[in-house]
Structure 1
Amino acid sequence: MMLNTLLPILLFAALALAVVGAFKRFAMWRRGKPAEVEWFGGLLAIPRRYMVDLHHVVARDKYIANTHVATAGGFVLAAVLAILVHGFGLHSAVLGYVLLAATALMFVGALFVAKRRLDPPARLSKGPWMRLPKSLLMFSASLFIATLPVAGILPAGFGGWLLAAILLVAIAWGVSELFFGMTWGGPMKHAFAGALHLAWHRRAERFGGGRSTGLKALDLDDPLAPLGVEKPTDFTWNQLLGFDACVQCGKCEAACPAFAAGQPLNPKKLIQDMVVGLVGGSDAKFAGSPYPGKNIGEHSGGPHLPIVALDGKALVDAETLWSCTTCRACVEECPMMIEHVDAIVDMRRHLTLEKGATPNKGAEVLDNLIATDNPGGFAPGGRLNWAADLDLSVLADKRQCDVLFWVGDGAFDMRNQRTLRALVKVLKAAAVDFAVLGLEERDSGDVARRLGDEATFQQLAKRNIATLAQYTFKTIVTADPHSFHVLKNEYGVLGGHYRVLHHSTYIEQLINAGDLNLGQHQNAAVTYHDPCYLGRYNGEYEAPRNVLNAIGIEVREMQRSGFRSRCCGGGGGAPITDIPGKQRIPDMRMVDIKETAAEIVAVGCPQCTLMLEGVVEPRPQVKDIAELVAEVLIEAAPKPSVKRQPAETSA
């Protein structure tokens, strides 16, 4: 009788406290800036986003995927049925058996959680997370035993008051961890915050198989709008919600090239620091890997305090933010779909625009972009010097063409000029009607935006958009994934909508159309390095490989390839800010390359070319895909250039 009397009180008291905690937690998130979300529609979308989108990421680790389904699925079903059966007293044998099955499923899942925690990998946070398996086991086992009489398997009152008291204590232990922990703070917090994060994600386009990787634009016309994020409450409220959803699994940590190189960045700790800043306090209780070279317990903050203090200790050191290469490996691996890179760039914007605190060569590069339209500070008049003998058509003379060849800043680098010349050779061999902007082309603005200088980015972008609006073309083709990404995904909000292709995708189309007469590479051992801004940012993995296969190259895949490719270290302005670590990221990538015993590493990005060729020899040759294709072009009688009326225009 004691169990039947006290268990409903325990369950409903726990439920009531959990609801109170939920409102308190929601109020904490709402300290952030406003954000437009689909309130009701987002809530309705949770089941599909959980079962399809989130588990698409979780399922990469079959052990954890199956464990999570059993544990989480068993808990949700058991919690609902426990309230019905033991809370409202619906003592039906059928419900009893279903509750037994749910608790048994949860118990099995909890056993696998416990097994993983016996010798946890370094990336997993310890601390409170080490008690979670015990709480899961205690809740499921005690509720299972308490339900046996309901199913008719044991007589009512079995075991007397002593067993009832033990079961109440055990259930209270599990209930406090699982119910309170979801809303008042604890390991289970990720379950509550994670579900709502799926509902009100700041990038809802990511769900249903979509892709959303372009940075959000700042409203520079609003004099009251903050320029970036200075303190935790400057983030939008759904970003704060996303930070709170972190499960501390450390998959982002294991994927981060800066962390592996010993630079002072750990994406998992960065997200946890944002939670500490929102709640207030220090990082002393963080139970995971620290930032390399930094001690736990020396940083603190609060909701309305600066995240980065340039004249002393705060929540995060500036060099942590500048270590990021913006490769999105952390975002790609995160099972909670948290947007680490957005947060980092938001904080960089404040440091650059408000404080003028871009480190090392950052300020010089940004000044160069303003003065010369290129980060190297080269005279703009030399943008076409590399093509002096190629007789390129300039769009200002033609006014229209099929393909606008976006040259990018490889035009000022002697090594990448070889790539550009090879691509011109390929385009001419296929009789493509193409032209360049010549001296009218300016930097795409990618590096300015990643360094946090949104004002310079928007200035460059608007000038490029105004230039492109004068002409008619179908497609923009570029050999630079960074320009490709910006033109394709970040110019649109400023009024520039274009069909943009990476040169590997366009060459693949030319091959498939039979427009290129190609020979075959003989006996070349080649591996392919996926550029972050082509792969993870834009989902293009197959076209480069298809091109290599078409010219007789069987790619020797690195262990970290495709969406798990290791960054070369050249993105996000990292070579400019140049934060030191224990080793260089391109050196680590070259180790990956050498493990394949390849003689050549094929690339599709000027930054990757420069970073990998900067590795000390002996090492494999570095060749762009365009160079490899140009090497096997079979000379034929020149085809007449076909003048087609473009189906799409620049505006």
Structure 2
Amino acid sequence: MLETLLPILIFSALGVAVIGAWRRVRLWRQGRPSAVPLLKGLAAMPRRYLVDLHHVVGRDKVMSNTHVATAGGFVAAAVLMTLVHGLGLANPWLGGLLLLASATMFVGSLFVARRRRNPPARLSRGPWMRLPRSLMAFSLGVFAITLPAVGILPAGFGHWLLGLLLAAVVAWGLAEMVVGMTWGGPMKHAFAGALHLAFHRRPERFSTKAGGEGRSTGLKALDLEDPSAPLGVETPADFTWNQLLGFDACVQCGRCEAVCPAFAAGQPLNPKKLIQDMVVGMAGGSDAHYAGSPHPSQGLGGKPVGEHHGTPHGPIVAREGKALVDAETLWSCTTCRACVEECPMMIEHVDAIVDMRRFLTLERGETPNKAPEVLDNLIATDNPGGFAPGARMHWAADLDLPLIADLQQVDVLLWLGDGAFDMRNQRTLRALVKVLRAAGVDFAVLGNEERDSGDVARRLGDEATFQSLARRNIATLAQYRFQHIVTCDPHSFHVLGNEYGELGGHYRVYHHSTYIAELYESGRLAFRPWKGGSVTYHDPCYLGRYNGEYEAPRNVLRALGIQVSEMERSGFRSRCCGGGGGAPITDIPGKRRIPDMRMNDVEATGASLVAVGCPQCTAMLEGVVDAGAEVRDIAELVADALVARPAVGAFDATRRPQAEEVI
């Protein structure tokens, strides 16, 4: 009887799954076109899954091994079951391999069941709670029906009732594990996730080396010259088709939720819920069946689960009535990329948020709080504070800084950034100038020719102002010759190095911590030993997660003789200061402030000083009331510790000056 039932069950499930796949692809294809290399992407998919995806999953060793056993066992069991029981190619070798695969899958399902017994808050419940039972049903059912194939049990063993029971168990497993991959349910991520890896909108993220060293973090430019091109995303169908595919790949693990600073602060943003809202909009309907943590805004007057509705061609953010997403959700994001860094499915949350912001800003002119004023200032004065452009160099009146317009050619162009208008950051700039001069660096500044890099405008969705600023900066820089740019602002560092290239500006850009580390290693700087208290270091998002620079700042601190007391959340898991993405400008209220939480992280280390490498981080952390630790930029610490180099004519790169040769 099983010999008759099993092929019918297997090929029926496969047929229904194929119909579901066609239906699912139609949902994705509602999005705008996106050119992807289909065959190349499919060929690269296995490696992207086994290397890049598991590089992220592997941060949790237990769940990584669980996923290998469960997913690997399922794939092997599904293929072998089709051969052995579907096509009748039963033999001891194939049957033995099928037993091994199903047993491995069962072991993995036990760990899934253990995880689901008392799941952490970040994990979605609902249909996901039945997943362990479905995994067990599939693996045990396949194991039992395969025993006769290897001769452990006689063919046709047991009563016909047992055969029906086994067929029912296998059918249960096939419905969840095979049909559910394309029709919806917990296993949907397996089908969508595999294709998402193949057709990812940022294929450059995937490494050519083991360990996942690929990096792609620059926002994509809008085509402002094409009048038919959309200015941002108004409806789910305005996303590209592979963005919709990426949303559908979400496994609802909640890793993004667990690291999101806005969610932790009680602001109306949960990145997992946002992605699931996009899935609802793609298919049409409401979020009533969402079974994860809601937006924290419910306690602040936000809408509860079940009151967000959308359609593929309906507005995501409505001016009135029901919609998929509240505008405050989008404006809460600090663009720190913690969600993207943690996502095992490699979904691009920040890209989606900025795309939706672009529509609100460019098409509707709807930006909250001080954002309109800042954007107007950028248009009128080339800086977000509205300061007179001719005042950019007032802070350096006594420094006699060389202008590149006078020299035409230098080794280093020092990019000041809009910290030049801020009295606190002027101290950092003066310290950096002192360090560069102590090292004998041939540098100059643009002076009043420098404009805002455009970072704030772009993150607020004003792509037109960003491109205007960027093109004018590129035209200015094209007049001069320099080897590289150095800046103490990670946001300018990122934009100049990673986003100007698409507009024709290609530069080698250094963050000042990286450049100072290289100067020290080449023997051009020497320091007095550190005699202060305990120090911790705060990783700026736009230096760390955006550009992968974690070691250079720590190398500088070690060169100063500082033993860094690391915070629990440091490196790629560093907590955002709350200053990115225009968040201090849009100022969406929450239950607590993000910089307050970060200073609590600092206090937990017992450090009396927190070293930073970003003007915005400095401003946000110094703004914390009753903070127990001093905030100082790395350049300031280096400038205070400088000792004199030998005379220029007798410079020996191998000799370190003695402590008494103080500058």
Q: Within 1, Cα distance between the matches of 2:323 and 2:558?
A: 52
1:141-160 paired onto structure 2 within 5 Å: 141-160=140-159
TM-score, length basis structure 2 = 0.96
Pair 1:507 & 2:506 matched: no
1:427-506 paired onto structure 2 within 5 Å: 427-506=436-515
Structure 1, unaligned stretches of length 5 or more? Answer: 643-651
Q: Within 1, Cα distance between the matches of 2:522 and 2:644?
A: 18
| Aligned partner letter, 1:182 | M
Residue matched to 2:230? 226
Q: Within 1, Cα distance between the matches of 2:432 and 2:649?
A: 18
1:100-119 paired onto structure 2 within 5 Å: 100-119=99-118
1:235-634 paired onto structure 2 within 5 Å: 235-294=239-298, 295-634=304-643
The Cα shift of 1:509 comes to 0.5
Q: Within 1, Cα distance between the matches of 2:428 and 2:122?
A: 40
| Aligned partner letter, 1:61 | D
Aligned length: 641
The Cα shift of 1:160 comes to 1.9
The Cα shift of 1:637 comes to 6.3
| Aligned partner letter, 1:514 | G
- 1:156-209: per-residue Cα shift (whole Å, max 9, x none)? 111120110000110000000011111011110000000000000000001012
- Most deviating of 104-113 and 17-26: 17-26
* Greater than 2 Å deviation, 4+ residue runs: 310-313, 635-642
Q: Within 1, Cα distance between the matches of 2:405 and 2:274?
A: 48
The Cα shift of 1:356 comes to 0.3
Q: Within 2, Cα distance between the matches of 1:194 and 1:110?
A: 20
The Cα shift of 1:641 comes to 13
| Aligned partner letter, 2:157 | F
- 1:613-632: per-residue Cα shift (whole Å, max 9, x none)? 00012420000000000001
| Aligned partner letter, 1:51 | L
Give SS of 2:632's match: strand
* 1:278/1:640 CA distance change after superposition, 3 Å: farther
Q: Within 2, Cα distance between the matches of 1:230 and 1:137?
A: 43
1:40-55 paired onto structure 2 within 5 Å: 40-55=39-54
Residue matched to 1:64? 63
Q: Within 2, Cα distance between the matches of 1:167 and 1:636?
A: 82
| Aligned partner letter, 1:428 | R
The Cα shift of 1:634 comes to 1.3
Give SS of 1:622's match: strand
- 1:430-452: per-residue Cα shift (whole Å, max 9, x none)? 01000000000000000000000
Residue matched to 1:646? none
- 1:556-607: per-residue Cα shift (whole Å, max 9, x none)? 0000000000000000000000000000000000000000110110000000
Residue matched to 1:28? 27
| Aligned partner letter, 2:456 | V
TM-score, length basis structure 1 = 0.98
Q: Within 2, Cα distance between the matches of 1:524 and 1:18?
A: 63
Q: Within 1, Cα distance between the matches of 2:650 and 2:416?
A: 21
| Aligned partner letter, 1:598 | A
Tell me, yes or no, if the aligned pair for 1:232 and 1:302 is still in contact at 8 Å: yes
Give SS of 2:400's match: coil
| Aligned partner letter, 1:348 | R
Residue matched to 1:19? 18
- Most deviating of 324-333 and 379-388: 379-388
Percent identity, aligned pairs only, is 74
Q: Within 1, Cα distance between the matches of 2:627 and 2:567?
A: 19
- Most deviating of 534-543 and 378-387: 378-387
Give SS of 2:17's match: helix
Q: Within 2, Cα distance between the matches of 1:16 and 1:298?
A: 36
Tell me, yes or no, if the aligned pair for 2:286 and 2:309 is still in contact at 8 Å: yes
Residue matched to 2:97? 98
- Most deviating of 609-618 and 335-344: 609-618
Q: Within 2, Cα distance between the matches of 1:307 and 1:638?
A: 65
Residue matched to 2:137? 138
- 1:61-97: per-residue Cα shift (whole Å, max 9, x none)? 0111000000000000000010000001111011111
* 1:567/1:412 CA distance change after superposition, 3 Å: same
Give SS of 1:466's match: helix
| Aligned partner letter, 1:472 | R
| Aligned partner letter, 1:260 | A
1:201-220 paired onto structure 2 within 5 Å: 201-208=200-207, 209-220=213-224
The Cα shift of 1:293 comes to 2.1
| Aligned partner letter, 1:621 | E
Q: Within 1, Cα distance between the matches of 2:233 and 2:444?
A: 41
Give SS of 1:293's match: helix
Q: Within 2, Cα distance between the matches of 1:160 and 1:420?
A: 84
Tell me, yes or no, if the aligned pair for 1:423 and 1:626 is still in contact at 8 Å: yes
- Most deviating of 111-120 and 513-522: 513-522
Tell me, yes or no, if the aligned pair for 1:393 and 1:436 is still in contact at 8 Å: yes
Q: Within 2, Cα distance between the matches of 1:612 and 1:93?
A: 66
Q: Within 1, Cα distance between the matches of 2:428 and 2:572?
A: 24
Q: Within 2, Cα distance between the matches of 1:199 and 1:140?
A: 28
Q: Within 1, Cα distance between the matches of 2:514 and 2:202?
A: 26
Residue matched to 1:649? none
* 1:618/1:210 CA distance change after superposition, 3 Å: closer
| Aligned partner letter, 2:256 | C
- 1:317-367: per-residue Cα shift (whole Å, max 9, x none)? 000000000000000000000000000000000000000001000000000
Tell me, yes or no, if the aligned pair for 1:431 and 1:640 is still in contact at 8 Å: no
Pair 1:188 & 2:192 matched: no
| Aligned partner letter, 1:86 | H
- 1:286-325: per-residue Cα shift (whole Å, max 9, x none)? 0000011231111100000000012233000000000000
Tell me, yes or no, if the aligned pair for 1:431 and 1:641 is still in contact at 8 Å: no
Q: Within 2, Cα distance between the matches of 1:479 and 1:559?
A: 25
Residue matched to 2:210? none
Tell me, yes or no, if the aligned pair for 2:404 and 2:410 is still in contact at 8 Å: yes
Residue matched to 1:645? none
| Aligned partner letter, 1:19 | V
Give SS of 1:449's match: helix
How big is the alpha-carbon RMSD for the aligned residues of Structure 1 and Structure 2?
1.1
Give SS of 2:412's match: strand
Q: Within 1, Cα distance between the matches of 2:601 and 2:276?
A: 30
Q: Within 2, Cα distance between the matches of 1:158 and 1:448?
A: 72
Tell me, yes or no, if the aligned pair for 1:568 and 1:586 is still in contact at 8 Å: yes
Q: Within 2, Cα distance between the matches of 1:503 and 1:129?
A: 47
Q: Within 1, Cα distance between the matches of 2:572 and 2:533?
A: 25
* 1:640/1:486 CA distance change after superposition, 3 Å: farther
Give SS of 2:333's match: coil
Q: Within 1, Cα distance between the matches of 2:422 and 2:138?
A: 64
* 1:618/1:301 CA distance change after superposition, 3 Å: closer
Pair 1:125 & 2:129 matched: no
Q: Within 1, Cα distance between the matches of 2:153 and 2:166?
A: 15
Residue matched to 1:87? 86
